Structure formats: structure tokens, C-alpha cells
Amino acid sequence: VINGFGPVKVAEAGQDIRLSLDMRIQYLAYRELKAAVETHQAKAGSIVVLDIHTGDVLAMANQPSYNPNNRANINVAHLRNRSITDVFEPGSTMKLATISAALESKKYTLNSTLDTSPGFIRLGRKSIRDHRNYGELSLLNIIAKSSNVGTSKIALDLSGDVVWDMFYRLGFGQGTGIGFPGESIGYLPDSSNWKPVEVASMSYGYGLNATALQLAQAYMILGNGGVKYPLGLIKSDQEDSGEQILSNSVSRSIRKAMKAVVSKGGTGQRAQVPLYQVGGKTGTVHSVGKSGYKKSEYKALFAGVAPIENPEIAIVVVIDAPAGAEYYGGEVAAPVFSRVVNGAMRLLDIRPNKAEQDKEIAKTETSSFKQGRG
């Protein structure tokens, strides 16, 4: 005889689960990433689009991909979510993090100048070089020109501990809070034993590694006034207040630096969007193989926010091993950013702002000319 018939617990109605992904932006990101990988004959690519005010993932796409409705010829390597599982050295996209530490220290402003002559510095047996001798540069132009020498000198002046602290606060070397299986936390080495050359190389993104999602989270913080939100793929009705990582004033200065990168003379001019002011940072890093860095294989990166004055989204584009004549981040990844932002701004019903800002720039230039500074 079996006793005790009856419900163990009264059934409760379940709740709806809604993804944070915006289907329209997801399609747009997937399409543009696929086109770029094919055009540049690249091995792979990833793109992440975040809502800058909440940390919600609006789009996340990878190439090569697969069709879950047709499993006949699926390649297992294509099943992983590269944006979350694959790590890479973020290269020059980290220079904005180093500059953030410099601004926070109060020792520097965007107008502070450094002499980068003769275009290289020697630290032990290693030489750190710029593309050419830029001479004296302000911090703003160190970012716009992507000067390794300028960024290294700043980091060496600040110390490795200060640089490491900023990187860690921006989310590197730790989980993003997304809770997705297989997420990599990347690698941020302990700064206690850094040699000068390691401090310098770390300042422009070599010696650590990160995922595309971590890099997107960092740019979300840099662009939104300095607030760190946990990232999520599930839409939540509860608002997260986030954690204040940077001051709003530092974030505003960093956005000015981002804007300079895509302006005339900057390395990311191809990231410009017809009706919107945007900003970001280019990156080009050597790929890593079994025997170390590959001399002729690169990853092209672009990370940025839009619109630049009142950002709504943060985007990271990674193109792995482009095989064509172009391989720099400003040539390969920046145009993908531009096209995705152009479509996403319309889909999100964001008012164009470029014409208004162009008028302000014209007024400033006219005033400078009248005062003899043109």
C-alpha cells in the first residue's frame, strides 16, 4: 500500500523569458560581419553590440557560423560563440584605458604634451616604435595618431600598478556577468613583477588577452559616464544601478579622444557615419601561433560608441587574419562599425546629430581663424 498521494508542491505558472537581442540589429550585425570576412578573405570574425545604459547584449554574431536547422555538414569548430570564448591581445584599443588612468591621476589632461621623438624608445633589448616620428604630441593626438611611444611614456610615468588597476576595474581578467557557458575570463597578469618593457607593452594592449565581449564592456564603461553594468543576454525588468568605475569628467574626455580618432588625421576615419558623430579606437595586433607571433598575420579591431555626445550603444568588431591587401583595424574593422552604427541608429530611432555638431565645428574654426590661429 502506497500512502501519501497528492502534490508535493503546488504548481506555479512560469514566467516568460525574453532575450535582450534586438532581432533587427542582430541581422544587421551578422550581415555586415559576414560581408567583411568574405571581402577580406579572413579566417573568422566577431561583433558585439551593447546597450550602453544597461549592459544588455543587443547583437552578438560570429563568422564562420552554421545553420542549426541543417546539421548535415556542421563543423564543430563553428559551434562555439567566439565573442565569449575566444581571446586575443586587444592591442591599441587598450590605449584609451591607459589614457583614462593618466587623466584620473590628475597629472595629465588631454592638452598635456609629450615628446615622442625620434619615433622610438629602447627598453632593454626591445625597441618600441611608432609608424613615424610624430614629435611633440598632446594626449589627444597620442590617441588620434595611435602613438605607442607616447602611450608607453605615460604608462612608465604612472607605474604598472596604476595601469593594472584601471584595466581590472574596466573588467579585464574577470567574468562579465553574462553567465553564458564557456565564457573565458581572459588573462591579466599580476603587475608586481612587471619590468619597464612589460609596463610599456601592456599600455598599448600586448601581454594581456581578452574576449570581444570584455572589450565591449570596457568601452561601454568608457562611453557611458564610467558606470559598469553586468552584461546579460536575458532581458530583465529590474534596473541595475551599476558600479561607478570612472568619473563622468574622465569619461567625457575619453569620448573626445575617441572622436579625434575618427576625425581627419586620425587612424579610424573609415568609422565615420554620414548623419551621426561617433568615436572609437582602432587596433591591429599580430596573431599568435604555436611558435609565437606570426609576422604576416594580424587581427584587425575597432571598438567604439555612438552617438559620441550621448552614447546609446557600444560596439566591438574583430576580424581575424584578413588575407587581402588591407589588414589594419582602421581599414578592415572600422567600416563594419560604420555600417552597423548607421543602421542601428535608425532602428533605435536616434536623432541625427552630425549636422548640428558640424555647425559648431565651423563656428570654432571661424573664430580661431579670426584670432590668427588658423
Which helix (H) or strand (E) segment is 251 a member of?
helix 248-262
The Cα angle at residue 352 between residues 349 and 357, in degrees rounded to 5: 150
Instruction: State how far Cα 105 lies from the chain centre.
Output: 22
Q: What type of residue is 372? A: G
CA distance 257 to 98: 12
Q: What type of residue is 39? A: T
Q: What type of residue is 357? A: Q
Per the document, the length of the chain is 374
List the end-to-end C-alpha distance of the chain, in Å, as a whole number: 98
Quote the strand ranges of the chain, DSSP E.
44-51, 57-63, 113-115, 120-123, 126-129, 136-138, 227-228, 243-244, 279-289, 292-306, 313-320
Q: Point out the catalytic residue in the list 46, 83, 92, 253.
A: 92
Enumerate residues 6+ apart whose C-beta is below 8 A from 231. 50, 55, 56, 57, 176, 177, 178, 213, 217
Backbone torsions φ then ψ of 83, nearest 5 degrees: -60, -25
- Quickly list H helices, 108-178: 139-144, 148-158, 160-169
Question: Is 291 among the catalytic positions?
Answer: no
Enumerate residues 6+ apart whose C-beta is below 8 A from 177. 55, 230, 231, 232
> Is there a contact between 268 and 303 (Cβ–Cβ < 8 Å)?
no
* Residues annotated catalytic, as ranges: 92
